[in-house]
């Protein structure tokens, strides 16, 4: 388990747990996960937005629930291949042994290669962005630092992004994202460079002040971040092996800095449970159609958004000859807060990316009039690069 990595537990995840595994939802709270709330507009009450939760808490609770479920047997081994019989999935070969099954679910993640040759090739690729992060724990009695979004604090600078993500147990994850091609800023993975950088960046300096918090993890690099999509069907448009279903990251991965991965995975799981019936092949086709309509749009959104982020962080201007991508539309709410009526449901994943079309004309008008997203001039990307050269001269 990658227990130190940053996760975002959105309300869709909480809804799935409460609907299918209410005991697990309760166990999350007992283990220390904290409800995240979004302030209501115009005097309306605050709304639930998910859970503030470290990955180690989330995964421990889920694993304990699975281990305690009647009829579930956890096997720690390598899945070699999917077995087939009479044109249907019949189980797995696990460390050379046969494990028979009527239904095989591949939730092996983005790096899984089980039955890789059966489906049509995946679409997508590297998102062009990488990050480094570190967990910090607030000292006893210390007050939290500044926030500007429900998740915590997000600040865009020319050439990089800085963020603080609120978690449970008075802990936060502090992150600096960069262009993957920016090899100089890759040196921020060195603890000395990272600590010097967070002391320099406004907002991050407050959260990581030694009088307020202390490091609670190593510096963790996040690279090879991919936006990918791969449906259930083969190249011929048919279910290649009835009884074999792919879920979670085996279907879709997106840039984790937006925190959509667990939500899209559990949304898939809930939908497949609803779809599954006596005809597994028909259920698989129906599930694939649902994913095309409800999951793929988030992949398409990230491909376009991240490409624009790469251009923006590289110093390019907004291209008004093309449709505005979601990142530019979201940014325009800073100039016209009324756009949040359209943008907020998208940010909460309550409305698909296509819903932003209603806000695009007004956002375009703002950009055409000369408005650009405000960014602090310092510390610049060059300031961070110079800091890396002083504290961690060897970059890879």
Residue 4 above 70 pLDDT? no
- Whole-number pLDDT of residue 114: 86
- Averaged over 273-298, what is the pLDDT? 97
- Whole-number pLDDT of residue 3: 46
Quick: pLDDT tens for 337-347: 999 999 999 99
Residue 128 CA to residue 283 CA, distance in Å, equals 36
Residue 70 above 80 pLDDT? yes
Please name each of the domains of the chain with its CATH number: 9-67 (no CATH), 79-123+226-294 (3.50.50.60), 129-224+380-391 (3.30.9), 318-368 (no CATH)
- Whole-number pLDDT of residue 194: 97
Residue 1 above 70 pLDDT? no
Quick: pLDDT tens for 250-265: 999 999 888 899 999 9
pTM: 0.93
3-state secondary structure labels for all residues of 349-360: CCCCHHHHHHCH
- Whole-number pLDDT of residue 366: 98
Contact 142, 363 (CB under 8 A): no
The enclosing H or E element of 366 equals helix 360-368
- Whole-number pLDDT of residue 43: 66
Return the structure tokens found at 191: 């603890």
Pairing of strands 123-126, 226-229: antiparallel
Residue 353 above 80 pLDDT? yes
Residue 56 above 70 pLDDT? yes
- Averaged over 201-211, what is the pLDDT? 97
- Spatial strand order of the sheet with 97-100 comes to 79-85, 88-94, 97-100
- Whole-number pLDDT of residue 41: 65
Residue 138 CA to residue 119 CA, distance in Å, equals 47
- Whole-number pLDDT of residue 165: 94
Residue 396 above 70 pLDDT? no
**Which among 303, 312, 256 has a CA at the least distance from the CA of 127?**
303
- Averaged over 77-89, what is the pLDDT? 94
What is the average pLDDT value for the chain, to the nearest integer? 93
């Amino acid at each position: 388990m990658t227990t130190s990595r940053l996760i975002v537990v959105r309300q869709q995840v909480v809804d799935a747990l409460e609907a299918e595994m209410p005991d697990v939802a309760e166990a999350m709270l007992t283990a220390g996960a904290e409800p995240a709330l979004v302030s209501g507009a115009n005097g309306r009450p605050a709304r639930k937005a998910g859970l503030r939760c470290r990955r180690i808490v989330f995964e421990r609770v889920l694993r304990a629930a699975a281990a305690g479920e009647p009829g579930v047997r956890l096997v720690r081994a390598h899945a070699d291949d999917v077995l087939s019989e009479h044109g249907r999935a019949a189980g797995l070969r696990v460390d050379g042994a046969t494990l028979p099954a009527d239904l095989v679910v591949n939730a092996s993640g983005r790096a899984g290669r089980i039955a890789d040759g059966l489906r049509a090739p995946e679409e997508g690729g590297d998102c062009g962005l990488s990050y480094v992060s570190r967990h910090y724990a607030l000292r006893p009695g210390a007050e939290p630092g500044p926030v500007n979004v429900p998740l915590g604090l997000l600040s865009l600078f020319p050439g990089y992004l800085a963020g603080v993500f609120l978690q449970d147990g008075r802990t936060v994850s502090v992150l600096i994202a960069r262009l993957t091609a920016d090899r100089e800023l890759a040196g921020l993975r060195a603890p000395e460079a990272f600590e010097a950088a967070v002391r320099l960046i406004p907002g991050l300096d407050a959260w990581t002040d030694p009088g307020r918090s202390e490091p609670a993890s190593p510096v963790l690099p996040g690279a090879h971040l991919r936006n990918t999509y791969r449906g259930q069907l083969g190249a011929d448009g048919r279910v290649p092996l009835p009884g074999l279903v792919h879920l979670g990251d085996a279907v879709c991965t997106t840039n984790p800095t937006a925190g959509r991965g667990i939500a899209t995975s559990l949304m898939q799981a809930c939908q497949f449970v609803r779809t599954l019936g006596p005809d597994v092949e028909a259920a698989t086709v129906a599930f694939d159609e649902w994913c095309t309509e409800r999951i793929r749009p988030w992949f398409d959104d990230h491909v376009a958004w991240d490409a624009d982020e790469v251009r923006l962080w590289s110093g390019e201007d907004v291209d008004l000859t093309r449709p505005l991508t979601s990142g530019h539309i979201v940014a325009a709410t800073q100039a016209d807060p009324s756009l949040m009526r359209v943008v907020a449901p998208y940010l909460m994943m309550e409305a698909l990316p296509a819903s932003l079309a209603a806000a695009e004309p007004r956002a375009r008008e703002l950009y055409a009039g000369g408005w650009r997203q405000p960014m602090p001039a310092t510390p610049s990307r060059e300031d961070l690069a110079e800091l890396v050269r002083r504290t961690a001269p060897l970059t890879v």
